Structure 1
Amino acid sequence: MATLKNSVSGESCLLRAQHVFGRDEARCDTVTPGNHVSRMHACIRFKGGRWELRDQSRNGTLLSGTLLRDGEHATLREGDTIRFGKATDVCWHVDDLSDPADMLWPVRAPARPIVLDSAHMLSGDATPAVMVVRSSSGEWLCDDRGELRVLRDGDLVTTGNLSWRLTLAHKDSTLALAVPAGLSTLPQRIEFTVSSNEEHVRAVLHTRGGTVDLGERSHHYSLATLARARFADMQTGYDSASQGWVEVETLARMLGIDVPHVNVHIHRARAQFAALPGNGAIEFVERRRGSVRFGCVAFRVFRGERLECQWLPAEPAHGFVPHAAHDDLMLHALPT
């Protein structure tokens, strides 16, 4: 299994077949803090039998002293060193470049990555423990729902308070997000288009009366981040009332800004939507003490031209027409 090692902490990092580094806690596989690190700074992926490092940042990535700029890529070799942005204290040493392996990737801490071999007993606060085992035909089976089921790439495995997603090293096909029936009939839905380096976000509001281009605004990235958090919670199994709540301090860390700046973003977003005709009663951003979330408004998030995630309200809210439970409408997010 391919691994990098942090020169300061000594931490070993297992690489997924496509592994993203950056400071965005919600979008990156390995969070790399620093003022000069982009939200999604660089990606390492296994391609054509080799591991490749691709930069997608503003400040570049140093590979053994050679600077890679946005869009540039290079093949990794054992012994290489990687520095993200202008950071000079921390570097990652390329320790191993073995082929990628099937893994259980944690949804959130305190779960840790698990490299799958043949059979694994997952411990949590649940009794009995959950078993993940490879079948004679090579499929992964899991008994977390009382009986064995076949796991597909991206499927959720849960035991007690711990959750993982199955990440297959080699996929037969790419799963696409299904377009929910009746999406176009909703009174409102908002679509975010996020650039590949996560630095630019355009928002478009669709209503029965037409389409409003809300342009590129810094606060749109805050909204897209909250939308992604709501989708992730839905995928994990949280009910609608519990989905998407993020502490303001956590959101500030995810965005790489301070708490007052987060509050400014939320204020500007609310003001922008309130100024639109007919939208005063809709809460695009909901608040409770110390936390915020994206409201009960249908959304879609695109990364480039690829649909990454989408969400529909499960129950009528603020004039929305009723729909089937959103759990039945969503498939897995596309890898990025």
Structure 2
Amino acid sequence: MKNELQHKIDFKTKPVGSLGVLESLALQIGSVQQSLTPVLKSPTIVVFAADHGIATEGVSAYPQEVTHQMLINFLNQGAAINVFSRHNKIAIQVVDAGVNSEVAPHPDLIDAKIGRGTKNFLVDQAMNAAALDRCFALSGQLVDSIARGGCNIIGFGEMGIGNTSSAAMIMSAVCGLPLEQCTGRGTAISQEQLDHKINILKQCQDFHGPLTDPQAILQTYGGFEIAQICGAMLAAYRNNMLIMVDGFISSAAYLIASQLQPQIKDNAIFCHLSDEYGHRYLLEYLDAEPLVNLRMRLGEGTGCAIAYPIIENAVHFLNEMASFESAGISTKNAL
């Protein structure tokens, strides 16, 4: 199938390779769907919200209650992800994976609450094994349901004060990189606050010692939203869906998923390069090429929503653009 797809791409009315990344995207999408005429169906972004015990150590510029407040903003259609998804015709689902407060029932809210935030991984594992299993089970069931509804391309966003610290710890542990290379300013903290953040995270690393097992790393440092994104990505792969990978936090979840299922890369589309400091090094480790660099670092799945029209256009050119033969145009002379 790959050879047939490449032939179809190469014989469109254009010089070979002149559509750049759109050509490799079309090849990837057609290969995943095993089709010369792939289709994107019911694009969906699932946004997971949860709190982190490490936030009590002053690693973020914002108080923890912002997680709950932003969750309500998602439900009220007021966040960036709502705007971008609405205009690009992407469905949104919002999940309480572990917000540190009681959240009133809402018709558009999915309750997958594991607890009221993780434990502080400065002094304990973020979650126990049962909680991690529950994260995988709940998010897997959600993605299975979305797939049964006809969706074949899905992205994941997150909201959780303190989650750049969690992602940095996961990245450092898996990639073997120093925390200074993995840790950024998150919610726009000052240099003094960044130094404090790195110092706290080094103490966490010293407390837990070296970790190599990917699930142990996720259990020790992950947030409930990161663990649920990881489980959701694995379920999306099992359903042979295209997986839109957002920025730094979602890439950290993907990092664990790829350790557990290396073939997931076949289905993964890396939507953008986050302006969060460690993301560039994480993508280099993953040998992943992001579609765009708009200096965004908001999370929420916004990179997926912004990149989706590019993914759409890769499919459109493959399906609709004339070939040299159909258009009656001469191909390049052979030497």
TM-score interval for Structure 1 and Structure 2 normalised by the shorter chain? under 0.3
Q: Which has the higher helix share?
A: 2
Q: TM-score, normalised by structure 1?
A: 0.24
TM norm structure 2: 0.24
- Tell me: higher relative CO, structure 1 or 2? Use CA pairs within 8 A at least 6 residues apart: 2
